[in-house]
Amino acid sequence: MSLILASRSALRSGRLVRSIHQSAPSPMGHPEYHHPIPFQWPHEKRTGFAVKLMVFLGVGFATPFIAGSYQLSKSKGSA
């Protein structure tokens, strides 16, 4: 019992605990590449970009609901 308590206190003291070292972050990719997104940000075409984005996200969100209602309507017709 005392050996278990002694080992726990030795681990808590920090002398036996391994320290974790972090190195400086390395630069990613080429040094001339400074854009975090893979396309040009539409500064002057914001409205068109917003409409396209909302249509893209809306279709992706609505697809499972449309497919579910279609499957339910198919099962109602055969009964």
Percent of the chain with pLDDT over 70: 52
Q: Is residue 21 part of a domain?
A: no
- Split into its structural domains, the chain has a count of 1
Whether pLDDT at 34 is above 80: no
Q: For the residues 28-43, what does the mean pLDDT come to? A: 69
**Full-prediction pTM beyond 0.75?**
no
Q: Which residues constitute the domain of residue 78?
A: 52-79
Q: Is residue 46 part of a domain?
A: no
User: What's residue 57's pLDDT?
Assistant: 97
Q: Is residue 15 part of a domain?
A: no
Whether pLDDT at 68 is above 90: yes
User: What's residue 63's pLDDT?
Assistant: 98
- Collect all residues with Cβ–Cβ distance below 8 Å to 11 and sequence separation of at least 6: 17
Distance CA 72, CA 68 (A): 6
